[in-house]
Amino acid sequence: MAINQHFVDDLAVWRHKVRGTKFAVLPPLTARPNPLVFGDLVIASVFFPGMIYAVDKNTGHPRWRVQMDGYGGSSVTAALGMVYGKSVHTIYAIDAKSGKTRWKFCPYGTSGECIYSSPTIAEGQLFFGDRNGLFHCLDAKTGKQIWWANTSRAENNDVNATAVYHDGMIIVANNAGIAIAFEPATGRQVWRQRLDSPSIHELHIYNGQVIVQTVSSIYSLNPSDGGIVQRHNWRGETIVAFVTIGDNMIVSSRYKKSLAGGVEDYERENIVRCMRNGELLFKCTTSSDIPGVRTNNKGRLLYESSYDGLEIIKAATGECIHHIKSKRGSLQPGIVDVRQEHIYLLTENGALYSLRHP
């Protein structure tokens, strides 16, 4: 079946250019959309210059912007009537209606880059890790620090992964290749599990198990004790993204290749596998330089953000049915948000779109 080709401007309900943007989209380490639809707003985290920017969902007219103290993150999250985002130095809590910054938390000042993980909100608390190996818990309403914990004494102990909350525990992983579960109220360590390589991506819950993505593998861990239930890896491949849809898990990976002087790089072509309970349902290939995968609410379609544009794929078969691109060069969008037959998209040059779903 032929792929339906579309130009982004032909599908546009509205388009808004974020002024002053140099490079909007940071390659994602989570499955969170950028931009995010929250109420009547579309909210984007802009990488450079770092800002959080909100427009009206129906018209694209600007509502508010918050300038940050450094490069922005790859997404925002929303809860308790607030929008939470980050720079490489600081966590921000912003009133969603007014755009007023309610509080900021900057653990080390604004020299260097200390925060690569994204904040997770659970039980009125905000959790994030830093590049000194610490995992922090703040009051989500006030920004007051409740506790912090050192995840490892290893030299490379950065906590760049984004935590997940499940069954009364907050679980995170670090660059030392360790997954750790904490008691949210106290910071008491419940369990820890050794992994095969660093973990820098967001953790997930799938079929009641904790999913941890490392450089080499996808782990399924028992949430009660951290025991390894399953591990998936493929020789010569690096895991770049995954998403869960009901009982299915979609994993995207790439082959490593060696360049002159022993430098390692990756093939541009992505290998996409769909699995259910560890069994392979299908395997296909796509092209992607920014690995980001999203699903719609019904779970029937995948939206893969790439340097070449946005590919819409049938989740059941891996068949690509639509390709959205730009007439003006590379689109290079962040992970899209899909709501009520509209696709909300942020391009690398800072253009926000509401698109009719093809």
Rounded to whole angstroms, the Cα distance separating 174 from 162 reads 9
pLDDT in tens, 199-247: 999 999 999 999 999 988 999 999 999 999 999 999 888 888 888 877 8
Location of structure tokens 């004790």: 225
Say if residues 239 and 251 touch (Cβ distance below 8 Å). Answer: yes
Rounded to whole angstroms, the Cα distance separating 195 from 172 reads 12
Rounded to whole angstroms, the Cα distance separating 322 from 10 reads 14
Per DSSP bridges, beta strands 178-182 and 189-194 are antiparallel
Compute φ and ψ for 54, nearest 5 degrees: -125, 140
Rounded to whole angstroms, the Cα distance separating 109 from 111 reads 6
Rounded to whole angstroms, the Cα distance separating 337 from 57 reads 12
Query: In the chain, what is the straight-line distance between the N-terminal and C-terminal CA atoms, in Å?
Result: 16
Say if residues 127 and 137 touch (Cβ distance below 8 Å). Answer: yes
* Other Cβ atoms within 10 Å of 178 Cβ, number: 21
In this model, does residue 261 exceed pLDDT 60? no
pLDDT in tens, 152-165: 999 899 999 999 99
Q: For residue 260, give the 3-state DSSP assignment.
A: helix
Say if residues 104 and 84 touch (Cβ distance below 8 Å). Answer: no
pLDDT in tens, 238-258: 888 888 877 888 888 888 765
Q: For residue 22, give the 3-state DSSP assignment.
A: coil
Location of structure tokens 């909210």: 43
Rounded to whole angstroms, the Cα distance separating 213 from 95 reads 32
Q: Can you say how many angstroms the Cα of residue 158 is from the centroid of all Cα atoms in its chain?
A: 18
- Report the predicted TM-score, pTM, of the whole model to 2 decimal places: 0.93
Rounded to whole angstroms, the Cα distance separating 53 from 240 reads 27
Rounded to whole angstroms, the Cα distance separating 354 from 346 reads 9
pLDDT in tens, 5-38: 999 999 999 999 999 998 999 988 898 999 999 9
Q: What is residue 297's predicted lDDT score, i.e. its pLDDT?
A: 59
Q: What is residue 314's predicted lDDT score, i.e. its pLDDT?
A: 85
pLDDT in tens, 313-345: 888 887 889 999 998 778 889 999 999 889 999
| Contact partners, residue 298, CB within 8 Å, separation at least 6 | none
